[in-house]
Amino acid sequence: MWFEHLHQVSLNRKKGAKKAASTRSKRKAKDKHPVPDDANEDVCASCGELEPPEEEDKDCTSAEVHWIACDGCLSWYHVQCCGLIVAR
């Protein structure tokens, strides 16, 4: 019985070592293919766009786009897409 336990422990260690090696090789492959800088541009998690949708009654003279981050999911949203209004 004790030898069976030792054999199982040995097998588990070998499986763990294989899994760790696989994880390391995946990380190395991922590091070799960096993500381009322009792919990091934030898009609204609600509408999927960089610019918020235009409102019919809004004055289009403002070039500012207001964003809000969700602390729960760490996604970014246009303030307008959340139904909020920026205080002036």
Confidence at residue 60, expressed as pLDDT on a 0 to 100 scale: 52
Confidence at residue 76, expressed as pLDDT on a 0 to 100 scale: 92
| CA atoms lying within 13 Å on the CB side of residue 71 | 0
- Tell me the residue type at 51: E
Confidence at residue 52, expressed as pLDDT on a 0 to 100 scale: 83
> The whole model's pTM is what?
0.47
pLDDT tens digits for range 26-65: 777 766 656 555 555 678 999 988 888 876 555 555 678 8
Confidence at residue 36, expressed as pLDDT on a 0 to 100 scale: 54
Cα-based torsion angle of the residue sequence 20, 26, 31, 37 in order, rounded to the nearest 10 degrees: -130
